[in-house]
Structure 1
Amino acid sequence: MNQPNPYLIALCNQLEIQLGFKIKNIANAQKCSEVLALEKLYISQHTIARMFGVVKPFRTPYKDTLNVIARYLSYDDWEDFCTNQTNVPFDPNYFLTEASDGFSLAVLQLALANEDFKALHLVLEKAKKNENEAILFTAASLIGTYVRVCKKQKKLLQFLADNSVGHRFFYECYVDEDNDNNYFSEALVNYYLPNVTNDYRKLYVYCFVISQTAHKAQNASPLIQEFQKLTVQLDKKNGHFHELSRWMECQILIDGFNRILNDTWKIHVAEILVLSKGLGFNEKAWLFSRSLKALVFFGFKEELFHHEELNKSIDDLIKHQKKEFHSIALYVLQLYWICKSLYFNNKSVYNPFRIHNILFQNESNEKTAIEFAVASLFASGENKNIITLNLKSFCENKGVYWVVKMLG
C-alpha cells in the first residue's frame, strides 16, 4: 500500500550503484552497513533491509537515516540530494525495454488501450521479473488510470483479481479514494477479497469500505461486524502504517455510529499519540489525518482544537513540511491547522502549499474540496459569495462531508 517517495527510489538506486552490489537480502544489508561504517556513517542492517523491502513492511526511513546515505553519496544532506535530482539522468531502460523483450510500459499501455486481455496477460507475466520499483509503481498508476475509463471495466477488474501481478499492481498498490459509482469498493469485496489470505489485506478491504460508506453515504457499513471479528485477532504493532491509520479511523467511525464517541474520543486520541511515537513524518500525517476526518465527521472539531498534545504534534508536522512529502494526508492536516488558527485568532503567518494538479488523480474529489475550503477561508467580496454558494453542494455531491463540517 505504501508508495515510496520518488526521491527515495533514486536514493536507493544510487546507493546500490555506489556500493557496487544490489541489496536483496539481510547479508547484503549487513555488508552495506559495514561499508558505511568504514566512512564513520552508521546505519543498522535492519534499517537498510527495511528501506529496500528485504524486511516487510516497507517504512519511510527517518530523516537522519536519509541524511547519512546522502552524505555517503557526496551530498550535504537529504534536502541537497532531492534538490539536485533533476540533474541525474534516468535509466535509459526506464521506458524503452522493448528491445530486450522485457516488461514494457509502452506495451502495457497499448494492451490496456485496446483492451487486449491476452496481451495484457503476457505483459504482466514479464513484470514478475522486473525489480525496478519506479517502473512498477508507474505501471500501477497506468493500470489504475485505464481501469477508470475501460469499457470492459468489470472484466478488467476480475482479470486483475485473478492474476498475482494484477493483485500487486492494482489492488495492493493503486487505491482509488474517488471510487466513482463505488466501482473500486465493489471490486475489492467481490473480486479481490475472495482471493486474499493475509489478514491485514482483509483488514484493508474492510477499512476502505467502512470509511467510504461513512464519509460518502453517511451510513454504517454492513462489513463492520467482519472488521470487528478480524481485529480481535490482530495486533496494531504488526500492521503497516496505512493499515494502522485506517484501523484507527474505523474504530472512531464505529463508535460514532454507535453514539458512544463522547465517551471514547479522548481514548482514541491518546492511542493515536502513542502509536505515532517512532513513526516518520509521512506516516504520522496519515495516522493523524484519517482519525481527524472521522472525528470531525461526527462533530468533534472544537474538542480537537482544545487538545493540547495532539495539536502540538500536528503543529510540528505543518511547520516542518517539505515539498517532497506533499500528500493528501498533509493537505487534510493543513486545512485543520488553518481552521484551528482562525478559531483562536492566531496571528501566525502561513502560506498554504498546493499539490500540483497532475498528482493524486485517484483522490481528486477530496483534493479539490480541500482546495476550495482553503480558498474560502481567504476569500472576500464576490469571490467569498461564489465559494459560499458552491462549496457545500460540491462536497455533498462528491461525498466529502467532513470538509463542510470542518468549516461549519
Structure 2
Amino acid sequence: MNQPNPYLFALCNQLETQLGFKIKNIANAQKCSEVLALEKLYISPHTIARMYGVVKPFRTPYKDTLNIIVRYLNYTDWEDYCNNQTNIPFDPNYFLTESSDGFSLAVLQLALANEDFKALQLVLEKAKENKNEAILFTAAELIGAYVRKSKKQQELLQLLANSSIIGHLFFYECYVDEDNENKYFSEALLQYYLPNITNDYRRLYVYSFVISQTAHKENQLSSYSSSFLDLIPQLDKSKCHFHELSRWIECLILIDGFNKVLQNTWKHHANELIALSIGLSLNEKAWLLSRSLKALVLFGFKEELFNCHEFNEVVDDLIKNQTKKLHSIALYVLQLYWISKSMYLNSKTIYKPFRIHNILFQNESNEKTAIEFAVASLFASGENKNIINDNLKSFCEKKNVHWVLKLID
C-alpha cells in the first residue's frame, strides 16, 4: 500500500463541506454513500467510515476510492486533486522532522535501525498523543519493514504486542506478512498478539490468518478452526473490514474442504461472494474473490468455477476495469485465474497481462513470483515452456503455493 498523502485530510474536510454534513458515525457514512451513488459513484459505507476513523483501525483508502471521491468534487482523479491543492499545511512530523518533544518518525527510524528497544518503547508511548493517522500508518509501514530483517525479530514482535493499542496499530493491524517465512509471523500472532486483544474482529483476523497459512502451506486443517467457528456467530459481516470479510469466507471454504463437504457447499459460498461484492470498490471485490478462489482451487474446484457464470461476470468486470493505479496481489490472483479460464474455454479474447513492480510486494513475494511464472508458462512455447514448467513446479512446492499449480494444471 502506498504511503498516505497528507492531502487526504483536506479531502475529508472538503467532502464534508460539499455534502453539507459531518461524518461522525456509521449513519453519516451510509448517507454519504447514498449521495455518491446518486451520481453513479459507488463506495461502501464501511470504507467511508474507516476513512473518517469511525471504524477502527484506520487504513489509507485505495487509489480507486480516492478517484471516486474527487470525481464527486469535480476533479478528474486523485492526481488532479493533489495538483490543485496549493495551500495545504503539512504536519511537521510528516517529513521526518520534529518541532517539539512529541512523536517523531525520525526518532522511530533511528531506534529501529539501532535496535534500541528501550528507546523504541518510549517512542511508542509518545505516539499515543499523536492524532495524525497518516503519520501513524507511515510508522506502521516503517516498523513492518524492519521486522522482517531484524536480528532481534521475536523481541521486537513481543514488544509491539505488549504495547497495547499503539503496538497493535503499528504492526498487526497495518502490516501482514503472507510469506511468513519459518512461520515467524503466525507464531507471533498466537504467542504475543492473541493474549493481548479483546476485540473479536481482531481475533477473527488471527484465527483466519493461521487457518489459511496452515491449509496452504501444510495441507491440513488448523486446530484453531474450532475457535474460529465458535467466534463467528458473535460477529456481524456488515461491520467487517473487507479484509476480515474475505478471510472469513475463505476459512469457511477451507474448513468445508478438509471436512469433505465442499462438493455440497461450494455453490453456496460462490453465491455469497457475489452477494457480498455488491457495493464494494474494485479493490475490495478483488480481495473478497481472490482469497476464496484460491481456497476453492486448492480443493480442485477450478472447473466448477470456470463454469460458474455469475462468479465469472464479477471477475470479468474486475479484469476489464483494472488500471495501473490499482494493482494488488488480489488482482494478480484474479488475472491468473482469468487467463486460465479463457484458455480452458477457448476464448478468442486478446489480453496483455500486467506486471507489478517488486517494491509493492514486500510481504507477498513468494506468491507474486509463482503467479508470474505461471502466467509465463501459459504463454511460453518450445524449450522455454519446458524450462518454466520444471522450475515453476519446483518453486511452488518449495514455497507452498500449491493452488497455482492446481489452477494451471
Q: TM-score range by the shorter chain?
A: 0.7 to 0.9
| CA apart distance, 1:151 | 1.6
Q: Which residue pairs with 1:396 in the alignment? A: 397
Question: In structure 1, which of residues 7, 13, 18 is the aligned counterpart of residue 10 of structure 2?
Answer: 13
| CA apart distance, 1:61 | 8.7
TM-superposition CA deviations, 1:287-340 (whole Å, max 9, x none): 100000000000001110000000001000110012222111111101100111
Q: 1:47 to 1:301 in 2, by over 3 A?
A: closer
Distance of 2:373 and 2:115 partners within structure 1? 36
| Larger mean Cα displacement after TM superposition, 374-383 or 390-399 | 374-383
Distance of 1:153 and 1:145 partners within structure 2? 11
| CA apart distance, 1:348 | 1.1
Aligned 1:112-127 pairs, distance under 5 A: 112-127=112-127
Aligned 1:343-354 pairs, distance under 5 A: 343-354=344-355
Q: Which residue pairs with 1:151 in the alignment? A: 151
TM-superposition CA deviations, 1:6-52 (whole Å, max 9, x none): 577634434537989xx99629x98xx99xx9xx99999x7896253
Q: Which residue pairs with 1:162 in the alignment? A: 162
Aligned 1:53-202 pairs, distance under 5 A: 53-56=52-55, 66-67=67-68, 69-70=70-71, 72=73, 75-78=75-78, 80-81=80-81, 91=90, 93=92, 94-164=94-164, 165-202=166-203
Q: Which residue pairs with 1:234 in the alignment? A: 235
Q: 1:18 to 1:26 in 2, by over 3 A?
A: closer
Gaps spanning 5+ residues in structure 1: where? none
| CA apart distance, 1:358 | 0.7
TM-superposition CA deviations, 1:381-401 (whole Å, max 9, x none): 332121111001101111111
What TM-score comes out, normalization by structure 2 length? 0.86
Question: Contact (CA 8 Å) 1:147, 1:153: kept in 2 or not?
Answer: yes
Distance of 1:178 and 1:6 partners within structure 2? 21
| CA apart distance, 1:236 | 1.9
Q: Which residue pairs with 2:246 in the alignment? A: 245
Distance of 1:185 and 1:320 partners within structure 2? 34
Q: Secondary structure of 1:324's partner?
A: coil
Q: Secondary structure of 1:323's partner?
A: coil
Q: Secondary structure of 1:103's partner?
A: coil
Q: In the alignment, does 2:266 pair up with 1:265? A: yes
Amino acid at match of 1:180: E
Q: Which residue pairs with 1:52 in the alignment? A: 51
| Larger mean Cα displacement after TM superposition, 282-291 or 7-16 | 7-16
Q: 1:302 to 1:97 in 2, by over 3 A?
A: same
Aligned 1:301-340 pairs, distance under 5 A: 301-340=302-341
Amino acid at match of 1:13: A
What TM-score comes out, normalization by structure 1 length? 0.86
Aligned 1:367-406 pairs, distance under 5 A: 367-406=368-407
Distance of 1:315 and 1:13 partners within structure 2? 35
Q: Secondary structure of 1:98's partner?
A: coil
Q: 1:173 to 1:142 in 2, by over 3 A?
A: same
Question: Contact (CA 8 Å) 1:185, 1:209: kept in 2 or not?
Answer: yes
| CA apart distance, 1:70 | 4.2
Q: 1:397 to 1:288 in 2, by over 3 A?
A: same
Number of equivalenced pairs: 394
| CA apart distance, 1:146 | 1.3
Q: Aligned-pair RMSD on alpha carbons? A: 3.4
Q: Secondary structure of 2:95's partner?
A: coil
Distance of 2:46 and 2:208 partners within structure 1? 29
Distance of 1:268 and 1:42 partners within structure 2? 28
TM-superposition CA deviations, 1:180-234 (whole Å, max 9, x none): 1001000101110011111111011000000000001111101111111111222
Q: 1:68 to 1:157 in 2, by over 3 A?
A: closer
Distance of 1:350 and 1:199 partners within structure 2? 43
Q: 1:182 to 1:381 in 2, by over 3 A?
A: same
Distance of 1:114 and 1:298 partners within structure 2? 46
Q: 1:398 to 1:48 in 2, by over 3 A?
A: closer
Question: Contact (CA 8 Å) 2:396, 2:404: kept in 1 or not?
Answer: yes
